[in-house]
Amino acid sequence: MEPLQIILTSLLSIVILFVLAKLMGHKQIGQLDLFDYITGITIGSIAAEMATELEEPWKPLVAMILYGGVTILMSTMSKKFLRMRKYLNGTPTILMDHGKLYRENLSKAKLDLSEFMVMCRQQGYFDLSNIQTAIFEYNGILTILPVSSQRPATPNDMSLNPQQELLFTELIMDGRILEGNLKRMGLDLTWLNRQLSERNIHSPREVFLAVCDRNLKLVLFKNIQNEREGGGREE
């Protein structure tokens, strides 16, 4: 009976943890600030305790729901009140600007020079003279504005007017046609089969991946390793 109860409470904790994660949003995964980090760890610990609490599993269940509710409430309030947002999330800190490093701001961000240099190199800046401004964001990411002479050239710099690129939609994946995506693109199987036939492809199973944009530019990747057949077609 005890192993069965462990299985059931474990599954219940996973379900509740998943629901809370969906309610709190994907920021819990991709852009953790200090408050999200604390609550995420706490809720995960409570969920693990719930899986092994056999006598009174409702206690960690209530605690997990309470933590999730407070997190959602605080997130909602921080969106409405700027002062609370600053208190919970913190504010960006300028670490370097116009060739000057700010020792006080580095200390405020809990960074030493070695850590700052590592973060700069991770962004591709090995020479600090190429940096105009470096800002330590509240989520722990270093944002760098390069000096104008070191930033990548843009089409505007060269008086070019390139055509806007469009998003591609998957039409075939692992040899299977995604008919829903095909319909959303306003296309049908007849059009797709004709495109495959023009490229000497006799079956969708021969295609590893096929993507298409709104201009009907179709790009194919065959199931043969390292072989690519690209098809650009304007209609």
Question: Which carries the bigger pLDDT value, residue 231 or residue 55?
Answer: 55
Q: Which of 32-41, 122-131, 210-219 has the lowest mean pLDDT?
A: 32-41
Residues 39-91 pLDDT 10s: 777 777 877 777 676 677 777 778 777 877 877 787 788 777 777 777 766 78
Report which listed range, 4-13, 30-39, 72-81, 146-155, is most confident: 146-155
Task: Give the helix, strand, coil percentages of the chain, each rounded to 5.
Answer: 50, 15, 35
Q: What is the pLDDT of residue 232?
A: 37
Residues 176-193 pLDDT 10s: 999 999 999 999 999 999
Does an H or E element contain 17, and which? helix 2-24
Phi/psi at 182 (nearest 5 deg)? -60, -45
Position 119, amino acid = M
Question: Which carries the bigger pLDDT value, residue 225 or residue 114?
Answer: 114
Give the tokens for residue 165: 């690129």
d(CA 15, CA 27): 19
Say if residue 222 is exposed, middle or buried (CB neighbours under 10 Å; 0-12, 13-18, 19+).
middle
d(CA 39, CA 78): 15
The pLDDT of residue 229 is above 50: no
Which domains are assigned to the chain?
A: 2-86 (no CATH), 93-150 (3.30.240.20), 169-231 (3.30.240.20)
The pLDDT of residue 174 is above 80: yes
Q: What is the pLDDT of residue 233?
A: 37
d(CA 29, CA 48): 18
The pLDDT of residue 29 is above 60: no
Name the maximum alpha-carbon separation found in the chain: 75
Q: Which of 18-22, 75-79, 106-110 has the lowest mean pLDDT?
A: 18-22
**Predicted structure pTM score:** 0.56
The pLDDT of residue 228 is above 70: no
Helix (H, G, I), strand (E, B) or coil at 1: coil
d(CA 172, CA 158): 38
Say if residue 191 is exposed, middle or buried (CB neighbours under 10 Å; 0-12, 13-18, 19+).
middle
Written in H, E and C, the secondary structure of 159-189 is: CCCCCCCCCCEEEEECCEECHHHHHHCCCCH
